[in-house]
Structure 1
Amino acid sequence: MKLLALTGRMLRPLCAMALAWFATAASAGGGLQVVTEELPPYNMTQGGRITGMSTEVVQAVLKEADLQASIHSMPWARAYDTALNGENVLIYSITRTPQRETLFKWVGIVAPTRWYLFGRPGVGASIRSLDDARKFQIATVNEDAGEQYLVSKGFAVGKNLQSSNKYEFNYEKLKLGRVDLWIANELNALYLMRQAGDDPERQFVRVLELPDLASDGGLHLAASRKTPDATVERLRKALETVRHNGSYEAIRRHWQ
């Protein structure tokens, strides 16, 4: 009996230490999930797997941080809501805007970006400012940074904004003349145009650059507010390493 009692007293602190270790591991990366959308060439599904410029950077960051996480592609509004309300959720490629600043914990830039209003030649030639664009129909994606930005400037879905859930739908609308303009990330727009066999420099025009949407020049990896600070800091350090050891630049050159 004495031996059993002694053994029990010895096991209790060991069990407590084990529980503490598992709790730390869980807070550092347990149950971590990553959400994204179809935004080629940044994030896209090819041959049943998610790839793209931002995806490769995020995968390199997770590997450097020694964190395991599954990546799920879904419509942007769903991905955004998942990251907005979930626990231990990462989201990319997300634009960092004043409207979103306090809604997420920001890890850092995973890809370059520039935003424009695109149009067909001869359409929107008189546009010199965003106010000039109010009389035109503009294609947007539901809850993406472009749509949120235009709404914050007084544009309205159903009035001068036509919202959809896929970027390629908006390109088709522009190409077929169903909208006058398309607000888009430059690399995504050029990729979709070329994939369709079109020449972006001859068939489409960058009507107006929107520097407010790319004030820091990049698309980000961000975490939900319910992600532990320790996990976010671990990811920030990993991203810094990836950017300094040449991995980020090699991935960028491959995709641009």
Structure 2
Amino acid sequence: MFRYALNLIKYISFLCFTLSSEAKEVKVVTEYLAPYQVNNADNSLGGLSTEIVQAIFKQANKTPNIIALPWARAYETASSEKNVMIYSIAQTKERLERFHWIGSLINEKLYFWGLKSQFPEAIDDLNQLKKFIVASARHSNVAHYLKRNNFKHNYKLVKEDQNILMLFKGRAELIIATELTLKHNAKKLNLAFDELIKIKEFTDLNSDLNLAMNLQSDPKLVAEFQRAYTEIKAQGVINAIYKKWGITEL
């Protein structure tokens, strides 16, 4: 009888813990970066990547508490707080062992961009570009690359979507971004995208934008989200979101 009562107490405790764990929100940090993460008219967070993340959470029967922050704060939060997720984060060599990787959200192709008035034609020699001022967000994969490859003239930004503005204001001579992002930001800021030129493809940093988790996160929770990602991808959910945003499957 005593053993039965003890087992019953253990079962109830386990059940309460499980229900509490399932009901608990998971903190997710990101930045505003169109079209991946955008501020909707009603101030809710939307965007291509956000929709994929929401689909993953729905499949995992979890609730996301998504907070939009400047990228440097988002990165530091996800690096230091257990069970915190971050997106859309590039999966680089430097970051590979710093996070648990849930799954790819989209592949991006990055380019050096400048104003046509300053750069009438493309430049293929990377060393030539090192003499120009390059704007990038702190703690971004671009900023890490520039530092590692001895780009001395860097303009550090708090928010990634400020880069095109710095270009038009003359505070930077080069920026690095995808065409899709720049078109969205140019439209939002009422700037002329046609005045920009692709100077060189940034092949060293072409990578997958991912959903990742803090390295100290609960392994079971990580596995749940990895499984949910695999399931929605197999179901065609991710491809459907691409098509909604006018992007073919990559």
Q: Same fold (TM over 0.5)?
A: yes
Q: Relative to structure 2, which stretch is displaced further, 124-133 or 233-242? A: 124-133
Unaligned residue ranges in structure 1 (runs of 5+): 1-5
Matches within 5 A, 1:112-131: 112-124=107-119, 125=121, 127-131=123-127
How big is the shift at 1:127?
2.6
Match of 1:204 among 177, 196, 205: 196
Match of 2:147 among 148, 151, 154: 151
SS in structure 2 at match of 1:193:
helix
How big is the shift at 1:11?
3.3
How big is the shift at 1:232?
1.6
Query: Which residue of structure 1 aligns with residue 229 of structure 2?
Result: 239
Aligned partners of 1:93 and 1:220 also within 8 Å: yes
Match of 2:6 among 6, 12, 15: 12
Matches within 5 A, 1:128-139: 128-139=124-135
SS in structure 1 at match of 2:34:
coil
Match of 1:192 among 185, 188, 193: 185
How big is the shift at 1:24?
5.0
- TM-score w.r.t. structure 2 length? 0.89
Aligned partners of 1:27 and 1:230 also within 8 Å: no
Q: Does 1:221 align with 2:215?
A: no
- Amino acid corresponding to residue 219 of structure 1 in structure 2: L
Aligned partners of 2:28 and 2:65 also within 8 Å: yes
How big is the shift at 1:234?
1.5
- Amino acid corresponding to residue 183 of structure 1 in structure 2: I
Q: Relative to structure 2, which stretch is displaced further, 76-85 or 19-28? A: 19-28
SS in structure 2 at match of 1:205:
strand
Aligned partners of 2:133 and 2:174 also within 8 Å: yes
Query: Which residue of structure 2 aligns with residue 105 of structure 1?
Result: 100
How big is the shift at 1:31?
4.7
Residue deviations 1:73-120, cap 9 Å, x none?
111111101110111111000000000011000011112311111111
The 1-side partners of 2:12 and 2:179 are apart by 50
How big is the shift at 1:231?
1.6
Alpha carbons of structure 1 residues 103 and 122: separation in structure 2 relative to 1, 3 Å: same
- TM-score w.r.t. structure 1 length? 0.87
Q: Relative to structure 2, which stretch is displaced further, 42-51 or 8-17? A: 8-17
The 1-side partners of 2:219 and 2:22 are apart by 9
How big is the shift at 1:246?
2.0
Query: Which residue of structure 2 aligns with residue 3 of structure 1?
Result: none
- Amino acid corresponding to residue 39 of structure 2 in structure 1: T
The 1-side partners of 2:50 and 2:17 are apart by 29
Aligned partners of 1:107 and 1:222 also within 8 Å: yes
Residue deviations 1:200-240, cap 9 Å, x none?
3x31111111122124xx21000101112222222122112
